[in-house]
Chain A
Amino acid sequence: MATVDLDLLQGTLDLLILKTLTWGPRHGYAVASWIRETTNNRLQIEEGALYTALHRMEKRGWLEAEWGLSENNRKAKYYVLTTQGKKQLRSKTAVWTEYASAVFQVLQTS
């Protein structure tokens, strides 16, 4: 099974995180597991980069963080999508789809 280094695709990590959070508040670990499971481990995500992205987006106001209790009753930091974050997700999705289809088109023509 081929794996892809996500560093190649700038901004994609943000997009994935935002998408993940559309299903409700999650803590960092849950975000990482969800991405891994959904992609069947095909994307290699360094978890340090994931947390950096989370904090950066919190600072930009795309996410809000709240402390809460996890499934096993431990204190955990939950991230929630803000209105601004939802807007970002929409525009980023559009851009990314456009980009991917353009690249795909080029690869198809040979």
Chain B
Amino acid sequence: MRTIRASHLPQDAVAATERVVAEGGGVRVVVPTIDAARIDRVCDALLRAQERLRTMRTERVIRAIDGAARRLSDPADPARADVLAALHAVSGFSPPMASLLLDRVAMDWLAPQLEQLLDAELGGPAAVESFIARSPRRCARAVAPPLGLHVFSGNVPGVGVTSIVRALLVRSAVLAKPAAAEPVLAASFARLLADADPEVGDCVAVTYWTGGDAGIENAALARVGLVVHYGAADAIADLRARAPAHVHFVEHGPRISFAVIHAAGTALPDAAEDLARAVALFDQQGCVSPQTAWVIGTRELARTFATLTAAALAGIQHELPRGRLDAAEAAAIRDMRTRAEFGEIAGRGGALWGPPDLAYSVILSDDPAFEGTCLNRTLLIKHVPDLDTLIGIVRPFGKSLQTVGLTGFAADELIHAASSLGDAGATRITTIADMPWPPPTWHHDGRGPLQELVRWIDLET
């Protein structure tokens, strides 16, 4: 049994006793037992460390992050091996999927990407170091709360580390709570960060506690100026209700993404290949993962497209096998398949493609209504006569929309489609192939990733 310690805490806050948070597949993940008093000491240490971070040059912060990211990408590094083992044994991703995901997400934490992010968001690194001229008589400086509590969800590996990285770039120290389903990556990253530059590493603490533990969370909420919360709507609402009014609350709740295939302008086999890959990546757990695809065109075209997509998913299964399903996930998929299959048998339309082992399921539905799936490579394919019909269907769900992947639209149609979809609530329009991989500079849920962390101080002369 391989034991992985999924925490990174200041020396004086490390507890003597540990508990197991996840176990399986030859891996045991342990964290120190923690309580409100200990969280308070962690916050003391983080706030002390942040005083040094405040005056640190951006270059140095970026160098530390870049160094940690490179080690996570290094096949010879034991930290990478720990992360991959946990992504497989605890999160359930297949080994090839775990490697691919780690390689891709770690790219976003390299120096050039971080510099690009600061440029895009704050006009360069200077704005967090001092006042920068904005107009002849006005300077401005971006300031983030000294300490933030970051709560992560377990669906997509790396999102938590990205949150830590963004905070460090604007000089905000981080107390992070990973999800039980993905407890290792953030802690490993924090340790590598401390190896690369101890003073930067001191600004990050990562440990797990059971979500909703009011004693621990209220102790943290009393010390932070910022909460960044990824996860389920009820967990976010619960913490938000307990946060003091002055705490700046940034939330990334559940969102749903879909694809639109304008059949007339598309090479369907290529679109099917792209869609299958977007569905397969992270086993469809991402908020950017397509759950439903609407074909603009006839039922026959939708059926052809479904056949092609199913074949593409079957091919991907060899390269990037689907991860483990728990009994509830498998039962949900079977339930969806049963409805589709017997709907077809009963002559109510619909059709199902998918192997008995649930590697993937493609369901053609004649009901164009808005619907999501139960993920893990379960895709609904529907058809509508035109874009306006589709806009009418998705508009009521606008607040929950995230990414829309488009294909087959001519340049002028694309602008029109993007505007309509944006008006309906979507925050990101992209190609189907790019759906799973938003660039580091993306406006996550429609907001600037660094801008949403800072407030501006204006100096007028």
A is bound by B: no
